[in-house]
């Protein structure tokens, strides 16, 4: 089996390279070496490698910046997946594409989850371009597996958990106010890579939800992470209105992995269990890095 990973320097890209290394011939590229929206470059690179499956972990993931950087977001999130899907339609193989909980409007009362058959209605440019990507893949080829995930974190994360830890370490006495009225399903990128592997081995095709099991708020997520790392902090709940952002976030984007469960393919775990394992594996390094950044 030959696996090619796009966006190979991102959270999921790195973990996909790691998870598939023992199983397959694996290669991967990221910007600037491979832009997935560049059809000529995709054709040359993939034709040389001849993958059985392409895992598309590349995306424009800066949700707020996407509001004003629409063309770049559309290029990575909609044009890129289309180009990759057209490649597998021409040459064979399978495209594993990754999408997001932000395709939903989030108006459902929390914590009732969304399943694969629920109507979409993205509220942000990021969500809209990701939905366009899903649709472009479906239009271009039947040889696809789309996994919608949520609230992703991983060893190379630069996002929410890093920011929370950085603030707690750099200003230990100060109250750390975290949004407590938005609900989602935190997902460890390594577990998601394992889920991709299981889904591939199980012959899955079409659209699946693949997120950490259960639901929490950003406040719960932050407080649990700092507790696991034994970092004393005054974490306080606050409403989302306290942190106005350029891109609207869904109030509830909890995902239910309904199809994975129904088809006996689920390897996702409860979000708090995975966070505990993540903290055990990477917590010490993250803490050291946070303290070095403070010094
Ligand atoms: N992060 C989340 O919370 C989250 C939540 C739900 C779903 N997802 C989805 O999960 C997937 C993986 O996300 P992630 O958090 O692992 O992303 P990530 O860490 O931001 O990595 C994405 C990688 O793709 C690269 N990239 C951007 N545009 C590209 C292009 N046109 N061609 C090739 N590479 C390009 C990025 O490079 P640069 O860094 O140089 O831009 C980056 O290295 C994405 O599809 C994302 O939409 C993420």
**CB-based contact 96:54 (threshold 8 Å):** yes
Q: How far, in Å, from the CA of 202 to the mean position of ligand 1?
A: 25
From first to last of the 295 residues of the chain, give the pLDDT tens digit. Answer: 999 999 999 999 999 999 999 988 999 999 999 999 999 999 999 999 999 999 999 999 999 999 999 999 999 999 999 999 999 999 999 999 999 999 999 999 999 999 999 999 999 999 999 999 999 999 999 999 999 999 999 999 999 999 999 999 999 889 999 999 999 999 999 999 999 999 999 999 999 999 999 999 999 999 999 999 999 999 999 999 999 999 999 999 999 999 999 999 999 999 999 999 999 999 999 999 999 998 8
Probe target for ligand 1 pocket from 34, 60, 61, with the most ligand atoms within 8 Å of CB: 61
Ligand 1 site, residue 198, Cβ cutoff 6 A = no
Question: What confidence score (pLDDT) does residue 41 get?
Answer: 98
Question: H/E/C letters for each residue in 82-122?
Answer: HHHHHHHHHHCCEEEEEEEHHHCCCCCCCCCCECCCCCCCC
Sign of CA dihedral 262, 268, 269, 270: negative
State the catalytic residues. Answer: 126
pLDDT at 71: 98
Question: Is residue 206 classed exposed, middle or buried when 0-12, 13-18 and 19+ CB atoms within 10 A define those classes?
Answer: exposed
3-state secondary structure of 162: helix
Residue 93 near ligand 1, beta carbon < 6 Å: no
CB 82 within 8 A of CB 66: no
C-alpha of residue 10 to centroid of ligand 1, in Å: 6
Angular region, 206: left φ>0, alpha ψ -120 to 50, beta rest: left
- Which residue's CA is the nearest one to ligand 1's atom 37? 31
Name which residue sits closest to atom 17 of ligand 1, judged by CA. Answer: 10
Instruction: Tell me what percent of the chain is helix, strand and coil, each rounded to the nearest 5.
Output: 45, 20, 35
Measured from the CB, is residue 57 less than 6 Å from ligand 1? yes
Atom 32 in ligand 1: which residue has the minimum CA distance? 35
DSSP code string of 175-242: EEEEE-S-EE--EEHHHHHHHHHHHHHTT--EEEE---BS-EEHHHHHHHHHHHTT---EEEEE-GGG
User: Ligand 1 atom closest to Cα of 189?
Assistant: 16
Identify the pLDDT of residue 95.
98
Q: What is the DSSP letter of 76?
A: I
* Cα 30 to Cα 32: distance, rounded to the nearest angstrom: 6
> Hey, which CATH number is domain 2-156+186-214+254-269, 2.60.40.10, 3.40.50.720, 3.40.50.410, 3.50.50.60?
3.40.50.720
Give the pLDDT confidence score for residue 294 in this predicted structure.
83
CA of 176 to the centre of ligand 1 (A): 27
The pTM of this model reads 0.98
């Amino acid at each position: 089996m030959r696996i090619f990973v796009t966006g190979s320097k991102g959270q999921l890209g790195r973990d996909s390279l790691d998870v598939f290394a023992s199983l397959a011939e694996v290669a991967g590229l990221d910007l600037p070496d491979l832009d997935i929206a560049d059809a000529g470059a995709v054709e040359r690179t993939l034709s040389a490698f001849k993958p059985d499956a392409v895992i598309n972990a590349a995306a424009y993931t800066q949700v707020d910046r996407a509001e004003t950087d629409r063309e770049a977001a559309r290029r990575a999130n909609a044009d890129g997946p289309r180009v990759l899907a057209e490649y597998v339609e021409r040459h064979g193989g399978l495209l594993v594409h990754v999408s997001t909980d932000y395709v939903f409007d989030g108006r459902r009362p929390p914590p009732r989850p969304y399943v694969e058959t629920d109507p979409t209605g993205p509220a942000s440019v990021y969500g809209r371009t990701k939905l366009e990507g899903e649709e472009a893949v479906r239009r271009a080829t039947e040889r696809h597996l789309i996994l919608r995930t949520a609230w992703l974190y991983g060893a190379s994360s630069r996002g929410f958990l890093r920011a929370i830890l950085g603030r707690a370490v750099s200003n230990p006495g100060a109250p750390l106010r975290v949004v407590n009225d938005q609900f989602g399903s935190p997902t460890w990128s390594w577990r998601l890579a394992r889920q991709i592997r299981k889904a591939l081995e199980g012959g899955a095709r079409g659209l699946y939800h693949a997120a950490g099991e259960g639901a929490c708020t950003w406040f719960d997520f932050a407080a649990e992470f700092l507790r696991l790392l034994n970092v004393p902090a005054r974490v306080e709940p606050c409403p989302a209105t306290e942190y106005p952002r350029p891109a609207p976030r869904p109030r509830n984007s909890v995902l239910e992995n309904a199809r994975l469960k129904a088809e006996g393919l689920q390897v996702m775990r409860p979000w708090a269990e995975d966070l505990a394992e993540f903290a055990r594996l990477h917590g010490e390094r993250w803490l050291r890095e946070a303290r070095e950044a403070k010094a």
